[in-house]
Chains A and B, each alone.
Chain A
């Protein structure tokens, strides 16, 4: 018996015979890392998306229970690898809250500059690859060249370009010198020119705007209900920025604006990130001109930081202090308490929930990963969009699979 038009209208769209399933990932250029989506499609319209994650799960939180506060920094580096230093700063921010450490002014400013450089580092790649996925190759190259300069700055400070492991409990690995400050100044001076170029390439680009405007809409209520944070939430009109609302490091001394938008779509997220680049530049400019002098680490009498190398090699007291920090059976007092502390990472609120157990490693080191929380709303964002919008939405919420799976 032939079907009448009424029958076809009544069947649920997901049960229609012509609905097909597409496996997107785990290895796909537009996912940038390993994540998998199973898309239910009606023609090119996405009816449903089911994410499968865990391909990069490597037990970071379990490792955090077996490595001490300084060793684990090498692991948190590898979470959001677009902005490794931001993770390190967040981790030691939480550890220092547990231990009750007050950082030196110089260290606070230094970490602030590095955190903002990392925000730019992250946004530059995100904006570049968003354009790349939507077919604009030039912007990607322009921004990647700027990331190269940030790599150089970070290398000059820490000796590593990528996984820096630069922060330590109560300070950083090495102090910076005038060369470094001049390098940052040069970057601050030269960046706006490239920014202008990319701004001209993308912001009013007809193709780019058509591909992103009205795509992946997230309302303010949903952003709050899904616990979105960072640029994703701010693009939906949530006025929250931990740098302003819960000032840490040197942010209370510095002047900057919190960038928000009411758009809630991919284009709004693009605009917020673009504007945040300029705000970060503003913060770096102020901080780098005002770096206080004095020591970068807290005092060695706390037994938490390594003494200076000349003291270790030339005096018995220095050698003993070095030993006190290095030997696993020595250590310092750690409160048997639980603490949660968060920083505004480039991707949103990156927090650590630490349980202390009277030893220099965490009993439990929980990460609040922004990518994990943002990716959980992906099915909500993509529903009833076109297949080609999948990459636009994925790019705009900046999913880093290493942080997603930990």
Chain B
């Protein structure tokens, strides 16, 4: 098990720990996130990026930051799981891409970009993945309504005569 004190000693004291049931999570400042993830991968054996996702905290009572990006890691040898989380804020939520560590991050980061508008510097091909290219909103943000903003009605349709 990775001790919190070891992480704090190496990556600064801004790292905090949170345990709920069998889920162990460390909260990491965005500035050292890449170093922490890369250290966890190379030195602590967290070889698998199980999932990468984000949460919008806009409507959550008592939340201080707008977004968190969540990395779920797995140590293949010991079976240990660890969640690494970092907070981001508007107007420019940006993180360093972890594509160089895990190729699996390619599509996961594209999905987070598509759904939340969080950009990843160093990503080889950061395009929308699920929504069409013309779409200009970020659907999983909490200020985006469930029924959309009329994109569906105003979507360009190619008619038989106009094509």
Contacts and interface: CB of A to CB of B under 8 A. Distances in A.
Contact of B130 (A366, A376, A405): A405
Interface string B77-97: 001010100000000000000
B50 A66 contact: no
Interface in A292-333: none
A355 B22 CA distance: 15
Contacts of B107: 372-373, 375-376
B50 A368 contact: yes
B76 A224 contact: yes
Given A339-B20, A340-B83, A54 B76 contact: no
Contacts of A226: 102-104
Interface in A41-70: 53-54, 57, 59, 61-63, 66
B72 A353 contact: yes
Contacts of B129: 53-54
B70 interface: yes
A194 to B, nearest CB: 36
Interface in A220-253: 222, 224-227, 238, 240, 245-246
B21 interface: yes
A364 B55 contact: yes
A171 interface: no
A264 interface: no
Most buried by B among A63, A97, A227, A376: A227
A296 B50 CA distance: 32
Given A340-B23, A363-B60, A405-B130, A376 B106 contact: yes
Given A54-B129, A227-B50, A338-B20, A61 B79 contact: no
Contact of B47 (A66, A224, A380): A224
B63 to A, nearest CB: 10
A364 B54 CA distance: 9
- For chain B, the bracket of interface size reads 35 or more
B48 A57 contact: no
Nearest to A356: B20
Which of B47, B48, B131: most chain A Cβ within 10 A?
B48
Interface string B1-43: 0000000000000000000111101000000000000000000
Which one of A63, A240, A335, A376 has the highest number of Cβ atoms from chain B below 10 Å of its Cβ? A376
B60 A357 contact: yes
A187 B160 CA distance: 53
A100 B130 contact: no
A377 interface: yes
B124 interface: no
A54 B115 CA distance: 12
A177 to B, nearest CB: 34
B65 interface: no
20 contacts: A54-B132, A57-B130, A61-B115, A66-B146, A222-B103, A224-B47, A224-B48, A224-B76, A238-B76, A335-B20, A337-B20, A339-B20, A349-B50, A368-B50, A372-B107, A372-B111, A373-B104, A376-B103, A376-B106, A376-B107
> What are the 4 closest A-B residue pairs judged by CB atoms, nearest first?
A227-B104, A376-B107, A54-B130, A57-B130
Given A226-B104, A338-B83, A357-B61, 5 more contacts: A227-B104, A338-B70, A353-B70, A364-B56, A375-B107
